[in-house]
Amino acid sequence: MSLLIAENVVKDYAEHRALNDVSIEVPNSSIFGLLGPNGAGKTSLIRIINQITGPDQGTIYLDGEPLKPNHIEHIGYLPEERGLYKKMKVGEQALYLARLKGLSTHEAKKRLQEWFKRMEIIDWWDKKVEDLSKGMAQKVQFVTTVLHEPKLLIFDEPFSGFDPINANLIKDEILRLRENGATVIFSTHRMESVEELCDHIALINKSEKILDGKLSDIKNDYKNGIYELQYHSGNFPVEMPNGMTITEQSEGRARIQLAEGIAANQLLQFILPHVGITSFKEEIPSANDIFIQTVQKASV
């Protein structure tokens, strides 16, 4: 079942169409990558889901119901452009934001202290926000986004400002939230994070959705029959049978493309009498390769 469904969403700004008949389905307890170049329309869709703006056409459903004002209680949103009140103390501000999400002071403080310890920022509780580094401030805002345990979490470039160690900490927390039942919409330009986190993706380009589905299925669809093998000893064959093409070869390594209908076992059966193979694997396209290829194809 899908927690969030967007059906045929259209959004216009003056003479610019930001979203043109965009539909997506975000499965329950999944991490859904909302991808696209700058200006593609991703932020417009996120703002509509958060009821910051409304669609000109189309409908958003949350948990089976058309989006209503009270649904905002079930959504946590971490925007790309973030901000805290610099003169307030960190703990004081976190408590204030938690109370806005409907938590009692007692429950908010309990949850905040647990999160602050896990995020290694408990020592900053009584310090002013202006004394925080950018990464520390990002951690505080991440905590206040997830604290009320919403059904839907929306993270827009959540790793901006983090060093690799803290970026991994945030990734682990996002995965833990998913395991505990949260549904996550995750917008980023960092394709390595998409590989590590996302179950499903949708790619928007020039206001239109051009690709969506389960990431593993999409990667299978984009495979092009190229296998890489590493070998030792023997003489690698110069000529290949019909349907097998050497695309690259160097000492101890070769890339071979198989035509449709040619099985990997046939390649192995041909190669084994000639060389000793140390590794053999099919090349699976990366999310970055798929992103570039699909956007370029759509722009032709």
How many domains does the chain contain in total? 2
* Range list of β-strands (E), the chain: 2-13, 16-27, 31-35, 57-62, 65-66, 75-78, 152-156, 183-187, 200-205, 208-214, 226-234, 244-250, 253-258, 275-282
Predicted TM-score of the model (pTM): 0.89
The strand pair at 2-13 and 57-62 is best described as: antiparallel
Structural domain boundaries, residue 97:
2-220
Please compute the mean of the pLDDT values over residues 104-130 and round it to a whole number. 93
The answer to whether residue 298 sits within a structural domain is: no
The answer to whether residue 238 sits within a structural domain is: yes
Looking at residue 265, what is its pLDDT?
95
Same domain, yes or no: 216 and 232: no
Is 160's pLDDT higher than 90?
no
Same domain, yes or no: 108 and 249: no
The answer to whether residue 252 sits within a structural domain is: yes
Q: What is the CATH number of the domain that holds 171?
A: 3.40.50.300
Looking at residue 186, what is its pLDDT?
92
The answer to whether residue 178 sits within a structural domain is: yes
Is 15's pLDDT higher than 90?
no
Report how far residue 75's alpha carbon sits from residue 60's, in angstroms, rounded to the nearest whole number. Answer: 13
Domain final residue, candidates 220, 251, 274: 220
**Percent with pLDDT over 90 in the chain:** 80
Same domain, yes or no: 117 and 247: no
Using alpha carbons, list the distances in angstroms from residue 293 to 94, 222, 274.
43, 10, 36
Please compute the mean of the pLDDT values over residues 33-51 and round it to a whole number. 94
Same domain, yes or no: 92 and 237: no
Same domain, yes or no: 252 and 199: no
Same domain, yes or no: 216 and 239: no
Q: What is the pLDDT of residues 161-197, one digit of tens each?
A: 788 899 999 999 999 999 999 999 999 888 899 999 9
Looking at residue 246, what is its pLDDT?
94
The answer to whether residue 190 sits within a structural domain is: yes
Token pair listed for 237: 């064959």
Is 234's pLDDT higher than 90?
no
Same domain, yes or no: 47 and 194: yes
Same domain, yes or no: 171 and 276: no
Is 300's pLDDT higher than 80?
no
The answer to whether residue 296 sits within a structural domain is: no
Same domain, yes or no: 277 and 187: no
Domain final residue, candidates 199, 220, 241: 220
Residues 128/90, Cβ–Cβ less than 8 Å: yes
Domain final residue, candidates 220, 237, 258: 220
The answer to whether residue 288 sits within a structural domain is: no
Q: Name, in order, each residue with C-beta under 8 angstroms of 56's C-beta and a sequence gap of 6 or more.
A: 10, 11, 12
Same domain, yes or no: 144 and 261: no
DSSP letter string over 147-191?
TT--SEEEEESTTTT--HHHHHHHHHHHHHHHHTT-EEEEE-S-H
Looking at residue 248, what is its pLDDT?
92
pLDDT grade for 238, boundaries at 50, 70 and 90: confident
Looking at residue 233, what is its pLDDT?
83
Q: What is the pLDDT of residues 48-98, one digit of tens each?
A: 999 999 999 999 999 999 999 999 999 999 988 767 888 899 999 999 999
The answer to whether residue 299 sits within a structural domain is: no
Looking at residue 161, what is its pLDDT?
77
Same domain, yes or no: 179 and 265: no
Same domain, yes or no: 84 and 145: yes
